[in-house]
Amino acid sequence: MKKTSFLSLEQAREISREIPTPFHIYDEAGIRQTARDLNRAFSWNPGFKEYFAVKATPNPYILQILHQEGCGCDCATATELLLAKAAGVDGEEIMFSSNDTPAEDYRLARQLGACINLDDATHVDFLAQNGGIPETICLRYNPGGSFSLGNTIMDMPRDAKFGMTEDQMAGAIARLQKLGAKRFGIHALLASNAWGNEYYPELAGNLFRLAVRLRNATGAEIAFVNLSGGVGVDYRPEQPKSDIFAIGQGVRAQYERILVPAGMGNVAIYTELGRFMLAPHGMLVSTVIHQKHIYREYLGLDACAADLMRPAIYGAYHHITVLGKEDAILDHVYDVVGGLCENNDKFAIERSLPQVEIGDILAIHDTGAHGYSMGYNYNGKLRSAEVLLKIDGSFQKIRRAETPRDYFATLDETPFHFDV
């Protein structure tokens, strides 16, 4: 499938007169459509709810849009809890799926009435002392071994720090019941960016069977199964899109095969999708500021890995459109780079593009999740602005770019000044 930019050159020029590049831009219409599709794909399950993984796109404007579409927030830290709260999301609309959790984070999560997802059995007593045990509580599972889909090993849960063993879950449930818990959820995240439609149904099968065993072993009421995140997106043009309707039906088949016959036909399904919800609906918009001709041809952008670190740290592919040259032939090969003093600061290596001139505006696709949010300040690079492209075609700055004042702001009460 040809990947197309949701932003035209004219729109990019208009925005950049007010908000200079680089900036991340998000497409409100696309975000709402994906949320509606997800809710429709799981509408067979009356208790279904998506808790958007805040770490993917931690901007309250985005969280608000998703909340209007019925999504809550999945948080892992106190700051993410504050972001959810700022967006008007609290109480049971927050899932707190943390690990290695500080006491004060648990206390804040309990104060907000969030649903707690325990990463470990030892956290039962830790939570009892730091916020107290709620009536409804979730436990995170680690099955150990390897996790495969067909012949493909997706991940190695036995090497992952997350979750607890089945025996530990049963013990934790018994202990939690003594401490007043009444309803339980179970959760696992066993793959990341899994594309194709098999991951969620396979995971759901595993968790549904676990839910039946835990109910039988402990007599506990399993109220929900949280499938967490991990559904992938088509970063490459040749990849198929995840079909959320096929995924929803795949989960439904497992539900009817495993839970319904066990008398557990009112278990709610929860998800904590991040990438699937937002990645395709964000782009990093950047201007070519230099061209360099040595052993390769280089395009130097005004953005760098501090704005989007996935290519640098994972070698991840992000598609690039040269705005205004959508239909030009791809008869040039470039390395597309940022200005960090690190040779891995390359958005693309030996990428076929049309002929590019200094001043051209590039859209780097699929940065709506784990894009801005993974940004950092290496080399004194300052994080970019975030812009919302609204349904009516107008735009709104939803986060300004950082300035040197922000960089200096944590040097409390020092004699250093940022002015020149």
Ligand X SMILES: *Cc1c(COP(=O)(O)O)cnc(C)c1O
Binding site for ligand X (CB under 6 A): 53, 55-56, 74, 97, 189, 192, 228-231, 272-276, 369
Q: Which residue, 124 or 189, has its beta carbon nearer to ligand X?
A: 189
Q: Whose Cβ is closer to ligand X: residue 53's or residue 259's?
A: 53
273 or 363: whose CB is closer to ligand X? 273
Is residue 300 classed exposed, middle or buried when 0-12, 13-18 and 19+ CB atoms within 10 A define those classes? Answer: middle
Instruction: Compare residues 97 and 101 and give the one whose CB is closer to ligand X.
Output: 97
Closest CB 372 distance from ligand X, rounded Å: 14
Q: How far is the CB of 155 from ligand X (least distance, A)?
A: 12
Q: What share of the chain is helix, strand, coil (3-state, %, to 5)?
A: 35, 25, 45
Q: Quick check: 21 and 302 in contact, CB under 8 A?
A: yes
The residue among 24 and 275 lying less far from ligand X, judged by its C-beta, is 275
Min. distance of Cβ 233 from ligand X in angstroms? Answer: 9
The separation between CA 394 and the C-alpha centre of its own chain, rounded to angstroms, equals: 25
Query: Please, which residue, 49 or 381, has the CB nearer to ligand X?
Result: 49
Asked if 269 and 225 touch (Cβ cutoff 8 Å), the reply is yes
Q: Are 79 and 373 in contact (CB under 8 A)?
A: no
Of 232 and 338, which CB lies nearer to ligand X in the complex structure? 232
Q: Is the distance from CB of 79 to CB of 60 less than 8 angstroms?
A: no
Q: Which is nearer to ligand X, 272 or 360 (CB)?
A: 272
Smallest distance, ligand X to C-beta of residue 34, A: 12
Count CB neighbours of 154 within 10 A: 20
Find all residues with CB under 8 Å of 173, minimum gap 6, and list them. 139, 181, 184, 214, 218, 220
Residue 137's nearest CA partner among 187, 212, 188 is 187
**Angstrom distance (rounded) from CA 80 to CA 228:** 17
- Which residues, other chains included, contact 242 with Cβ-Cβ below 8 Å and sequence gap of 6+? 195, 196, 197, 231, 232, 233, 234, 276
Report the residue number, 184 or 270, with the smaller CB distance to ligand X: 270
**CB neighbours (10 Å) of residue 210?**
19
Handedness of CA 37, 41, 46, 51 (dihedral sign): negative
Residues in the chain: 420
Rounded to a whole number of angstroms, the minimum distance from the CB of residue 275 to ligand X is 4
Alpha helices (runs of H) in 270-375, residue ranges in sequence order: 275-278, 310-314
Please report how close the Cβ of residue 106 comes to ligand X at its closest, in angstroms: 16
**Cα–Cα distance between 50 and 43 in angstroms, integer?**
12
- Kindly state the smallest distance separating residue 311's Cβ from ligand X, in Å: 17
Do residues 2 and 237 touch, judged by C-beta distance below 8 A?
yes
| CB 15, min distance to ligand X, A | 26
Smallest distance, ligand X to C-beta of residue 198, A: 16
